[in-house]
Amino acid sequence: MLLAKPIKQPLPYFEDSAQLFAPMASRPWAVFLDSAAHVDSRHGRFDIMAYGPVCTLQTSGALTTLSRNGVERVVSDDPFQLLKRELGSPLPVIDGLPFNGGAIGYFGYDLARRIEKLPELAVDAERIADMAVGIYQWAVIVDHQRRQSWLVGYDLGEDIVATLKAEFSHLPLSKEVSEFKVLQPPRSNMDKPAYSAAFAKIKHYLKEGDSYQVNLTQRFVSPCQGDPWVAYSVLRRINAAPFSAYLNMPDVQVLSSSPERFLKVTEGRVETKPIKGTRPRKADPEQDRRQIAALAASEKDRAENVMIVDLLRNDIGKCCREGTVRVPELFAVESYATVHHLVSTVTGELAPDQHALDLLRSCFPGGSITGAPKIRSMEIIEELEPHRRGVYCGSIGYIGFDGNMDTNIAIRTLVHNHGTIRFWVGGGIVNDSVLDEEYQECFDKASALLQLLARFSA
């Protein structure tokens, strides 16, 4: 694809980007990367919207289907390298904006099977692509800090620019009436006895020295009907998070309210912000302050966090210039709608011969949701979790034509397809983990998602 001429056209600013995106939400390959700055400007700033990609890539198992102009071809190339080739040589950055066109989509947890040899034991209930990414020649960027909006892209014809500017210059006059219903309460694939058995097996592996930490998750599922965008519109209000997203992909809709950044690349500068350590929010301000203090002082949570920091230092170091990997912040407490998290920051400088997608592949999936060491922990996860994770614990985000990237860890994420809606929650198990505390932490993390589904119960 030959792209050269950058486009940056101003658009009217609207405080709530969801109102602007709503008429497009049902379009094929419509994507909304949602910073939740409308609710919480401490963590988020830019929203990104697009639809109508010029090319799509869907990976299932060993094969990737690449579609352009209605023509499909199926290849067995490494999906990360294939996507890098489709993006082409980096183009100039459009000043001041995070994204100017490029790839947007999801990289499911099970895409790791294209990187490492893993056992195949868990059931694939979703049966969706391991990777679904569109390449978008344009996007609408909303900057909530400066209260400005822009249409950006490359080599867009005047007629396309005019159409898009007209479409994104006003809110819809009337809202379409859509419904979403949850037909039964969510059921977990691990009741307390099953979770206890898996927990005990992990403790055995830890004692034997197989691993230092293993992330154990359970999966909740409910039958449903209707428009999942309606559910997302509520989710983003009750659980605002800076790395949220709504993706309308073929056969699946992804509703993410993730608080965790995986990997960011800005003109060669690398940042990752792993989360390890959680406390539920309290309604009483004094009790809430005590929760923050307890999390900040927790030796167990700090030990878990530093394990993953060390893992990520090693992972990003494979693609960064020697001597540039740093840890500028350890154990910061960040507060969200329902929980407090312990967050650290690791940075580096991308080596000249490395691309953002090389970095993503090198670090994938994120160590904060596997455990350490990564491969052995993933083998244990495959043995003990009944179902594959799919999108969950993978990554959602963008890789621009300019080589910049920002991706989340797909936690606090629901997946809708085939008349069901599913989500997963879990946490890291270490030697001094306590069964009842870890089991309760799952429900602390799930509280907003359970609240969401309860609102739509038939």
Contacts of 22 (CB under 8 A, 6+ apart): 172, 175, 176, 229, 233
Dig out the tokens for 158 from the structure.
């005047």
Question: The tokens 């400007």 sit on which residue?
Answer: 41
Domain residue extents for the chain: 6-171+181-455
Query: Which CATH superfamily is 6-171+181-455 part of?
Result: Anthranilate synthase (3.60.120.10)
pLDDT in tens, 56-83: 999 999 999 999 999 999 999 999 999 9
**Which positions are annotated as active-site residues?**
260, 276
pLDDT in tens, 352-397: 999 999 999 999 999 999 999 999 999 999 999 999 999 999 999 9
- The distance in angstroms from the start CA to the end CA of the chain is 48
CA 186 to each of CA 72, 223, 297, 386: distance values in angstroms, whole numbers, following the listed order: 38, 8, 34, 16
Q: What pLDDT score was predicted for residue 178?
A: 86
Is residue 2 over pLDDT 60?
no
* Angle at 441 (CA atoms; ends 440, 444), nearest 5 degrees: 95
User: What is the average pLDDT across 299-311?
Assistant: 93
Confidence label for 3 from pLDDT (cuts 50, 70 and 90): very low
Q: What pLDDT score was predicted for residue 327?
A: 97
CA 201 to each of CA 268, 393, 435: distance values in angstroms, whole numbers, following the listed order: 42, 21, 12
CA 426 to each of CA 105, 110, 230, 370: distance values in angstroms, whole numbers, following the listed order: 23, 17, 26, 10
Confidence label for 4 from pLDDT (cuts 50, 70 and 90): low
Is residue 40 over pLDDT 80?
no
Dig out the tokens for 35 from the structure.
């910073």
Got the DSSP string for 102-126?
EEEEEE-GGGGGGTS-----SB--S
User: What is the average pLDDT across 271-288?
Assistant: 93
